[in-house]
Amino acid sequence: MFNLLAESAGSWVVVVVLLLVMVAFMVYSNYSQKKRQKETQATLDAIQPGNKVKTIGGVCGVVVEICPEDNTFVLETGTEKSGKSYIKFDKQAVYQTDAVAKKAEPVVEEKPVEEKTEENTQETNE
C-alpha cells in the first residue's frame, strides 16, 4: 500500500518538473526572439543612402533613396558599362547590409569642478 502512494507521489514530481522545464524553454525562446527582432529593426532603421544591400531575392546594389512613409527604399543595380537600373523594395526584403545599427552609448554626466579660491580655503581652515 505504501509503495503505491510513493510511486504516485513520484510521478507528480516528474510531471511538475517537466512542466517547469517546458515553461522555462518557452520564456527563453520568446525572450531571444524579441531580442533578435529588436536587432533586426535597428539594422533596418540604420540603412541610409550609400549603404550596400542584398535582398532576400539575391539582388545586390546600393541604396539611393529611402521612403519612410511607405517603408521602402530604392536600390541602384548594374554598372556604368552595362547600364544602371533602379528597383524599389520594401525594407523587410533586406537580407544583408553593411549598415551598422547604432548602439546606445552610456550617458556620462559631467559634474562641475569646484575651483579652489582663497575664500574656500579660508572657510575650511576655520
Which tens digit of pLDDT belongs to each residue from 14-28?
888 999 999 999 999
How is residue 119 written as a grid cell? 575664500
Residue 114 lies in a domain: no
0.85 exceeded by the pTM?
no
Read off the CATH number of the domain in which 84 is found: 2.30.30
Residue 112 lies in a domain: no
State how far the alpha carbon of 91 is from the alpha carbons of 21, 48, 72, 74, in Å.
37, 11, 5, 10
Domain that holds residue 47: 2-97
CA atoms of 20 and 15, how far apart (whole Å): 9
Domain total of the chain: 1
Find residue 88's DSSP bridge partners: 74
CA atoms of 8 and 93, how far apart (whole Å): 55
Q: Which sign, positive or negative, has the C-alpha torsion 83, 87, 69, 45?
A: negative
Residue 42 lies in a domain: yes
Residue 74 lies in a domain: yes
Which tens digit of pLDDT belongs to each residue from 69-110?
999 999 999 888 888 999 999 999 999 998 887 665 555 556
Residue 117 lies in a domain: no
